[in-house]
Amino acid sequence: MSALSRDDVAHLAGLARIDLSDAELDRMVGELGVILESVAKVQEVAADDIEPMSHPLPITNVTRPDEVRPSLGAEVALAMAPAQEQERFSVPRILAED
Partner 1 sequence: MNTDITRASAASLADLLARGEVSSTEVVQAHLDRIGAVDGDVHAFLHVDGEGALAAAADVDRRRAAGEDLHVLAGVPIAVKDVMATKGMPTTCGSRILQGWVPPYDATLVTKLREAGLPILGKTNMDEFAMGSSTEHSAYGPTHNPWDLDRIPGGSGGGSSAAVAAYEAPLAIGTDTGGSIRQPGAVTGTVGVKPTYGGVSRYGLVALASSLDQAGPVTRTVLDAALLHSVIGGHDPMDSTSIDAPVPPVVEAARRADVKGLKVGVIKELGGEGYQAGVRARFDEAVALLEGAGAEVVEVSAPSFDYALAAYYLILPSEASSNLAKFDAMRYGLRVLPEGVSDPSAEQVMAATRDAGFGDEVKRRIILGTYALSSGYYDAYYGQAQKVRRLIANDFAKAFEQVDVLVSPTSPTTAFKLGDKLQDPMSMYLQDVATIPANLAGVPGMSLPSGLADEDGLPTGIQVLAPATKDERLYGVGAALEAMLLEKWGGPLLAKAPELGVKGA
Q: Judge whether 62 and 27 are in contact, CB under 8 Å.
A: no
Exposure of 61 in the CB half-sphere (CA atoms within 13 A): 1
Q: Judge whether 8 and 36 are in contact, CB under 8 Å.
A: no
* By CB under 8 A, residue 23 contacts partner 1: no
Interface residue with partner 1 among 22, 23, 44, 67 (CB under 8 A) is: 44
d(CA 95, CA 98) in angstroms, rounded, equals: 8
* By CB under 8 A, residue 3 contacts partner 1: no
In the complex, least distance from residue 35 CB atom to partner 1, rounded to whole angstroms:
6
Residue 50 or residue 68: which is nearer to partner 1 going by CB?
50
Give CA 57 to chain center in angstroms. Answer: 23
Interacting residues toward partner 1 by CB under 8 A = 1, 4, 8-9, 12-21, 24, 27-28, 31-32, 34-36, 38-45, 47, 50-57, 59, 61-62, 64, 72, 76-77, 79-83, 89, 91-97
